[in-house]
Structure 1
Amino acid sequence: MRATPPKAIPPRLWPEAMTRRRLFGFMAAACLAAGLSACDDDDDAARQLQATWTASPQDYAETLPILGAPPPEPQSFQDQSIRHVMRASAGGDTVRVRVSNLFGDDPVTLGGVHIARSMGGASIQATTDTVLRFNGQESVTVPAGQEAWSDETRFSLPPQTDVAVTVYVPQKTPVATLHSQGQQTSSVAAGNALGSETFTPTETRQSYYWVTGIDVRTDDARGVIVAFGDSITDGAASTVDAVNRYPDFLARRIAADPAMKGFSVVNHGIGGNRVLNDVSGPRGVDRFQRDVLGTTGVTHAIILLGINDIGFGAFVPEQAVTADQITAGLQTMVNQAKARNVKVFLGTLLPFKGAFPPYYSQETDAKRLAVNAWIRANTAQAQGIIDFEAATRDPADPLQLRAEYDSGDHLHPNDTGYEAMAQAIELALFR
Structure 2
Amino acid sequence: MNHPRPTRVLVIGYVWPEPRSSAAGGHMMQILEAFMQQGWDITFSSPAGAGEHPADLTALGIRQVPIELNSSSFDTFVSELAPDIVLFDRFMMEEQFGWRVEKHCPGALRVLETVDLQCLRDARHQRLKARLKASDDADDFRQLFAPALREEFELMADTDVAKREIAAIYRCDVNLMISDVESQLLIEQFKVPRNLLHWCPLMVDLPIEAPRAFEERTHFLHIGNFRHAPNWDAVLWLKTAIWPLIREQLPHAQLHIYGAYTPPKATALHNPTQGFHVMNWAEDSLEVMSAARICMAPLRFGAGIKGKILDAMLCGTPIVTTPMGAEAMHDQEPWPGAVTHTAREFAERAVALYNNKDQWETAQAQGDALLRSRYRQSVHGPALVEKLLDSLQHLTQIRRDNFTGSMLRHHAHKSTQYMAQWIEAKNRNPQ
- TM-score, length of structure 1 as denominator length: 0.28
Higher strand residue share: 1
- TM-score, length of structure 2 as denominator length: 0.28
